[in-house]
Structure 1
């Protein structure tokens, strides 16, 4: 599932391309929305909230989308060939000079703009919120420490705690905090965990490349994420991988057994 910075960047690119323009075509290819026609509506803007996107239109209407595992928004010039097959298209929003195509967007909903909070009101503070403040940080810390015995990796992935962290940043934050993902929240400074999560997301929010090491060279972008069996970039120990969580919430967890002491899978 995409990280919050991926959704943030997609939202800003859509906003740059569509905001302030009138839709020549507004087609939604979703069973519940097949009869909806957004043509003629003005696009007021696009905003992200954690891993959720809202495209706002005139008339007080919003289109909510979520990428899940394989969804994406692409931008094209009129007449340009689409890079994914037509059967994956779920939305087409066309203005005079750009065409936004939503592929594999399993979660689509049209709703009054004033009701957006119905879909995201349960989320923790958005780590990429443009109005981030000390109050946001304090609330994130409060939610993170509400269950001090919870595994840190699972707590960071819980969008009700903080919104935006995915498996990549979970692995890298735990590494930089020098604890295994299975360590309890109480093993770290919660304020440092929140600040580090936000810092890493912000570092990559305006580019498609994601680096937590400060290096963009292939194979050196991440400390442990997707480096199973490869040397830890800090100490040279082989990076390990294990499962964390259960059922639909299960994710893989990467860690260095030397740099990250604590419980393991």
Structure 2
């Protein structure tokens, strides 16, 4: 005895397919992607900090000093995604490098001794150059990915501000004075992006890259005076000192969801 399967009418197939598609679409709408759920985020990154001041300025390091072309940094960044398309962020970077001394200003024995002694004793601390930034970002999100281009403003300790004056009185009673003055803690403008890949509901891989441009001129001066009268002066001023690029990778946590 044989049985024949009854053919399923096309309208029934269409109804079943439509029902499945509707159910899937409804499930997707009630289960947004991991990236769209995040509202408050905190991440930690590490990477290189590239000094990209042009050669025309680096030739004047004899008066200003400088920093290595590449140095490491550790970054901490908090992000608040306050709307579907926008957010803001705040970050602190711990840059780590030993300054290059200016060669155009010869330190006295005691200045050099205390600088070298301080670096030897507190090297890991004295090499720390902090910077901070605050900005706004735009949200581009797809599946478990999010890309946030943004702009901001910050303050960067490119080199520590410094001022030294030493005096010497000659055998003829004439007083000689030599002053070295440097101001290089600068406000900076930032432009860049961050990319996040969510590996879980609470964790994501983070990539940050940004370019920063000083908004102030760095200045350095060497001034000689004789009996209070200025006899020699060498000045340096640049908007490029402090220009650079950060690129860091790390891991982040979702602290709050939408």
| TM bucket, shorter chain | under 0.3
TM-score, with structure 1 as normaliser = 0.23
Looking at both structures, which has the greater relative contact order when contacts are Cα pairs under 8 Å and sequence separation is at least 6? Answer: 2
Decide which structure has greater strand share.
2
TM-score, with structure 2 as normaliser = 0.23
The structure with the larger Rg is 2
